[in-house]
Amino acid sequence: MTRLRPLLNLAIILIVWEIVGQFQLVASGALPAPSAVLLRLITDWSDYPLHIGATLYGAGVGFVIGNLVAVAAGVLFALYPVSARVARGLNVAIFALPPIAISPILVLTLSDMAPRIVLAALGCYFVTMTATVVGLTQADARAVDVVRAYGGGKWAALRFVQWRNALPTILSGLRIAAPNAVLGSILAEFGGGGRWGLGVYLLGSLGRAEPDRLWGIGLVATAIAALAYFAFAALSHFVTRGTQAVTVPSAVLSSGDKPRPAWQQALIIAASVALPFALWWVLLALLRVPTMIAKTPPGLFDYLFLLPSAPIAQGKLLAALAQTLPMTLVGMVCGLALAFALALSSQIWPAIVRAFMPVALVTQTMPLVALTPLLVLMLGRGPAVILWITISVTFFPAFVTMAQGLLQVPRAALDVPKAYGAGIFKQLRLVSVPASLPYLFAATRLTVPRALLGVMIAEWLATGTGLGNLLNQSRGYLDYGMIWAVAVISVLISVMFYQIVVAVERRTLGRLGMASAE
Amino acid sequence: MKLNLNRRNFLALAAAGATLPLTTRLAMAQATPFNFQASWINDAEFAGYFLAIDKGYYKDEGLDVTYLSGGPDVIPESSLIAGKADLTLTTPDTTIKAIVEQGAPFKIIGAQYQKNPIGIVSLASNPIKTPQDLVGKTLAVPPVNVISVEAMLKISGVDRAAVNIVPYAYDPTPLIKGEIDASLDFTTNVPFTIQQAGVEATSFLLYDFGFTIFNDTVVVTTDTLAAKRKEIVSFLRASRKGWEENLKDTTVYPPTFAETWFKGTGRSIENEVYFNTAQKPLMEAAGGIFSMSEEDIAKNIEALAAVGIAATREMFDTTVLEEI
Amino acid sequence: MASGIRLEAVSRTFTSRGQATEALRGVSLDCAPGSFTALIGPSGCGKSTILRLCLGLDTADAGTLAVGDFSPTEATRQGLTGVAFQDAALLPWRSVEKNIALPLDVLGLPIADYRARIAELIALVGLTGYEKALPSELSGGMRQRVAIARALVTTPKVLFLDEPFGALDQILRRQMNIELQRIWMETQATTLLVTHGIDEAVFLADRVVVMASRPGRIAKIIEIDLPRPRDPALFNAEHFHALERQVSEALDGH
């Protein structure tokens, strides 16, 4: 019965959806019934193989390249902690960059499949890099000592102990990276032209007023992302079975860094800030993109501060920021609150939350372009639709992280209040919530860039306000300076929010003597 | 050093066994390569070029044409600047704005549509027949086209603030469901889609209410014009031939592209035939396809001036057309 | 043939959050070739630090260390040393055999030449039949015995043991002590054992080095003159208890 439970839930959801669709109960029929979507999918099927092939190609090549770079970088960072600190600015920037802002830049500077591949690779990089570093550095320090006690150096420790220890972690990273690659590729297809790809197909079908087809394309994209996820979940299960560590690693490998003089610290921080800008510059120089399209850091500075048109550009940018920033903050708080409430509910009413999960999963991978008409019809074009989209893109990763945190609360710690007769709420308040604080912060860090992404998508598709709209309009007006300005500023905002969360996290967890959760 | 991926590899991986070329290269040993960036996804708007490729008109002119599809998020002018394309089709307002404001080195050397097919589409049940009808209504406009609408409103003496302009993502569903009152789109296309959904549509052209501009203006960079003038002339000659053939009977050719150019676009052939028929009167000109009469250029300059875009006669170069 | 261990005026200070802790101050110790020395002391007295310094896992701030005629790093690279830690620290994905062979892999020695040696060690620690088992399939005591076998695989001339039986129960620990004595007597390796079990130290060692903390230093060295081989009955002998008392008093600072 327990095995059938998720299937039963799914069946209930499908039946409700079918009824809603058939009787046109939502948004006067803009939500098609699953049977209509399925029939449409069958009729259209001859169109699909080439589109799916192109999307898989972009996603696949990006996945391979992105993960190879990520693992190599992870190894470098784990073996030479200084390199991790120097690359920190770059890593945070890559983590925080909203794909919607970077996609036009990629389309402008690269050609053919390259933008899709790069965006897919970027979607993989941070997840896999972090997993690699965590997996390598959290290897059993005693086992590493054994290797070093026989004269083995960093590389021997890597070869005999760390990499194998990191393998399950890296595989679970790949599990998340795989759907990211698919979504990255589709997103770049929106802006990249070309004949084939699910994103291209979706855009081509937008003008047809056929929600059933849009849902069909969206669900196929979702299915591919889900398949990619489960393929790596299965692989990870296969690799790790029977080799779980027999003892909990007693000590986490310390970086072994001696304290550095202040000037060295300052140098490292300066290098970390300068690196993303240097890389931006160097890449443009290597690609030889015409200067009118490709703005270098000084070029952008000119555009924003020195050119005669600078005051106008500043004015537009500030006006857009004034619309986008408050919504980002509100959306972030709401997304986190919902995630937190759900995570707590999953402890109290696990069945209800499990039933809700399939719906939540679909909201994560359905291209928002396909959902926009529905959302606009239901929510209008005001702050409500921005909030809805922002919450829908933020809450899920935050929820997963928080739920994981609540699950990892040691049973023994819960037994104490239980032994004194505490109910579930008291247990949560006294033990679970404080104990999972590191995960709460990790969730907040995840949420920051996604909130900005959500707001910009909503502004672009629905409300026509703020940075999202400015970005879209600037592309139409060939206002390349503004495209770069919006992209760079949205990355800077994400990084800034991220750093604020990190600072609060360090203070709070430091005071409580807790370690941060990756 | 541009990052370029081998299309052959791509095809092998993406669609093993598929015989359809991703982009059409008319492989000719001596033919000069020529890249053409279209302004939209493959539909009847480009039927003339498809025909010219299929019938070998470009090959006859010694050109090896690579056709690059466009789409809502493809900015054709960017392809010229990035060096991806030699020639493209644009909306003249954005092109001229880019020349004026960004110093972009563009020349307009022809116009596919003598009359811009862009118009205000609404439902017959809630008809919007003139700009004045827009007062108090919600109008969905692709962000790129907002200036065109603002121009039309200004010329017609309608207060911009009285119209609620929202973004349009080229999906007519909100219009059909009544969430918006009207949208800005190609009148050659959307009314058909709306009919298919079982509702009657009505529309008017911005052109007929003072925003007298071309559309799908043929644009090249000044550098390309100097370096490849002969090829550009050849391209226009072959393209004109393709269009003339296509417009003889607008129902004949769209079906022949069903399994090639139109495959996988998600659009029906009936839709393309409707489009092809509707665009004919907007394209035909006394001077032949692509022509730009002095009178029409003047109208363009005048209309754009109303939105504060300072177009000048020098931005239009009619000498290439004369060489066809 | 065995090599000794020599520490001269070794000091090591750790700094953490701006606070300095003197783990070792001016420690000198000489372990003769083939001797068995036990290091005992309260936590934080630097006994594990001595072992880590001898293995080249850490470097001293002052003083010199030698293992045989070499620096610790050279000695470990040449395969002179063997080590077992409190945690068996087995690699969960390697079988018993392969875990024992890990030092050979690190030192780049051909495993084929050591097949017989590995089989012999598995028999020595009583794990015959478990050659292909994964660590997760073994009990705690069995895992610890794998770690001991691993420490011996290179036939080390110097053996370092950091509380190798710390995690075992008393009964198992006694058994392991007896086995360790047997192994040591067979191999004649110079052995340095870090422990906090007084009975274990007295039972196994030629000398018990009692350490004190803050700063970490040697408080007293007690010679253990019990004849070898020592058998389990000794745990109840009067002289054994007298020696235990001596160590215990030295730990209390007398």
pLDDT tens readout for residues A429-438: 787 888 788 8
Q: By CB neighbour count within 10 A (0-12 exposed, 13-18 middle, 19+ buried), where does A239 fall?
A: middle
Residues B71, A200: C-beta atoms closer than 8 Å = yes
The neighbouring-strand residues paired with C64 are C8
Q: Say whether residue B160 is in contact with chain A using an 8 A CB cutoff.
A: no
Asked if B190 and B121 count as a contact pair (C-beta separation under 8 A), the reply is yes
B38 and B134, same domain (yes or no)? no
Domain-embedded: residue C29: yes
B160 and B280, same domain (yes or no)? no
Looking at the partner chain, which of C85, C92, C154 has a beta carbon nearest the beta carbon of A142?
A: C85
B101 and B226, same domain (yes or no)? yes
B243 and B111, same domain (yes or no)? yes
B220 and B310, same domain (yes or no)? yes
**Average pLDDT score over chain A:** 82
Q: Is ipTM beyond 0.85? A: no
Give which of C105, C94, C104, C227 is closest to C154, Cα–Cα.
C104
Look at residue B221 in the predicted model and tell me its pLDDT: 95
Look at residue A2 in the predicted model and tell me its pLDDT: 54
Phi-psi region of B290 (alpha: psi -120 to 50; beta: other; left: phi over 0): left
What is the spatial distance between Cα B275 and Cα B263, in angstroms, rounded to a whole number? 17
* Confidence class for position A414, pLDDT limits 50, 70, 90: confident
- Mean pLDDT for A267-275 is 88
Look at residue A250 in the predicted model and tell me its pLDDT: 32
Asked if A335 and A391 count as a contact pair (C-beta separation under 8 A), the reply is yes
Residue A99 has pLDDT above 70, yes or no: yes
Residue A175 has pLDDT above 50, yes or no: yes
Q: Say whether residue B193 is in contact with chain A using an 8 A CB cutoff.
A: yes
DSSP helix, strand, coil percent of chain C (3-state; round to 5): 40, 25, 35
Each residue's pLDDT tens digit, C215-246: 888 999 999 988 888 888 888 888 999 999 99
B200 and B228, same domain (yes or no)? no
B99 and B130, same domain (yes or no)? no
Residue B78 has pLDDT above 90, yes or no: no
- Mean pLDDT for A187-209 is 79
Q: Say whether residue A250 is in contact with chain C using an 8 A CB cutoff.
A: yes
Residue A246 has pLDDT above 50, yes or no: no
Asked if C39 and C24 count as a contact pair (C-beta separation under 8 A), the reply is no
What is the spatial distance between Cα B25 and Cα B63, in angstroms, rounded to a whole number? 10
Look at residue A254 in the predicted model and tell me its pLDDT: 38
Chains C and B touch (3+ CB pairs under 8 A): no
B218 and B316, same domain (yes or no)? yes
Residue A487 CA: distances (Å) to CA of A98, A380, C235: 8, 27, 76
* Confidence class for position B12, pLDDT limits 50, 70, 90: very low
Q: Which of A292-301, A390-399, A415-424, C143-152 has the lowest mean pLDDT?
A: A415-424
Last residue of a domain, one of B209, B229, B244: B209
Q: Residue B70's CB: how many other CB atoms inside 10 A?
A: 21
Closest residue in C to A150 (Cα–Cα): C76
Domain-embedded: residue C135: no
Q: Where are the domains of chain A?
A: 27-264, 295-518
Residue B193's domain is classified under what CATH number?
Answer: 3.40.190.10
Q: Say whether residue B127 is in contact with chain A using an 8 A CB cutoff.
A: no
Domain-embedded: residue C202: yes
What is the spatial distance between Cα B218 and Cα B91, in angstroms, rounded to a whole number? 9
For B298-301, the CB contacts below 8 A with 24+ separation are B299/B212, B299/B213, B300/B92, B300/B212, B300/B213, B300/B214
Closest residue in B to A115 (Cα–Cα): B3
Chain C interface, Cβ < 8 Å to A: 15, 52, 55-57, 73, 76-79, 81, 83, 85-93, 102-103, 105-107, 134-136, 138, 143, 150, 154, 160
CB contacts < 8 Å between A and B, how many?
200
Domain-embedded: residue C236: yes
Last residue of a domain, one of B160, B179, B209: B209
Closest residue in C to A149 (Cα–Cα): C55
pTM for the full predicted model: 0.81
Asked if B163 and B139 count as a contact pair (C-beta separation under 8 A), the reply is yes
Q: Which of A14-28, A84-98, A240-254 has the lowest mean pLDDT?
A: A240-254
Residues of chain A in contact with residue B179, where contact means CB-CB under 8 angstroms, are 376-377
Residue B124 CA: distances (Å) to CA of A372, B142, B168, B206, C200: 24, 22, 20, 18, 98
Last residue of a domain, one of B157, B178, B209: B209
Residue C47's domain is classified under what CATH number?
Answer: 3.40.50.300
**Average pLDDT score over chain C:** 88
Closest residue in A to C79 (Cα–Cα): A150
Domain-embedded: residue C131: no
Structural domain including C18 reads: 1-80+158-167+192-254
Most confident of A282-296, B51-65, C18-32: B51-65
Domain-embedded: residue B92: yes
Three-state DSSP state, B187: coil
Domain-embedded: residue C63: yes
Class of domain A27-264: mainly alpha
List the chains bordering chain A where 3 or more Cβ pairs fall under 8 Å. B, C
Domain-embedded: residue C106: no
B253 and B177, same domain (yes or no)? no
Residue A244 has pLDDT above 50, yes or no: no
Share of chain B above pLDDT 90, in %: 58
Residues of B numbered 215-274 whose beta carbons fall under 8 angstroms of chain A's beta carbons: which are they? 263-267
* Confidence class for position A404, pLDDT limits 50, 70, 90: confident
B110 and B244, same domain (yes or no)? yes
- Mean pLDDT for C47-71 is 89
Residues C56, A151: C-beta atoms closer than 8 Å = yes
Domain-embedded: residue B97: yes
Closest residue in B to A107 (Cα–Cα): B74
B67 and B52, same domain (yes or no)? yes
Structural domain including B196 reads: 118-209
Looking at the partner chain, which of A146, A156, A164 has a beta carbon nearest the beta carbon of C89?
A: A146
What is the spatial distance between Cα A113 and Cα A90, in angstroms, rounded to a whole number? 24
Q: Which of A39-53, A95-109, A260-274, C173-187 has the lowest mean pLDDT?
A: A95-109
Look at residue B306 in the predicted model and tell me its pLDDT: 81
Give which of C32, C38, C29, C5 is closest to C224, Cα–Cα.
C38
Topology of domain A295-518 in CATH is: MetI-like fold (1.10.3720)
B292 and B266, same domain (yes or no)? yes
Look at residue A259 in the predicted model and tell me its pLDDT: 62
DSSP string, C103-128: HHHHHT--GGGGHHHHHHHHHHTT-T
Look at residue A64 in the predicted model and tell me its pLDDT: 96
- Mean pLDDT for C161-186 is 84
Look at residue A382 in the predicted model and tell me its pLDDT: 85
- Mean pLDDT for A301-315 is 91
Each residue's pLDDT tens digit, B181-223: 999 998 998 888 888 888 899 999 999 988 899 999 999 999 9
Give which of B4, B78, B2, B83 is closest to B39, Cα–Cα.
B78
Task: Please give the tally of structural domains in chain B.
Answer: 2
Domain-embedded: residue B267: yes
Residues of chain C in contact with residue A244, where contact means CB-CB under 8 angstroms, are 92, 136
Residues C150, A146: C-beta atoms closer than 8 Å = yes
Domain-embedded: residue B2: no
List the chains bordering chain C where 3 or more Cβ pairs fall under 8 Å. A
List the chains bordering chain B where 3 or more Cβ pairs fall under 8 Å. A
Give which of A209, A120, A132 is closest to A165, Cα–Cα.
A132
Look at residue B41 in the predicted model and tell me its pLDDT: 86
Each residue's pLDDT tens digit, A120-137: 999 899 889 988 988 888
Asked if B147 and B306 count as a contact pair (C-beta separation under 8 A), the reply is no
For residues A441, A446, A448, A450, the Cα torsion angle rounded to the nearest 10 degrees is -160
Task: Please give the tally of structural domains in chain C.
Answer: 1
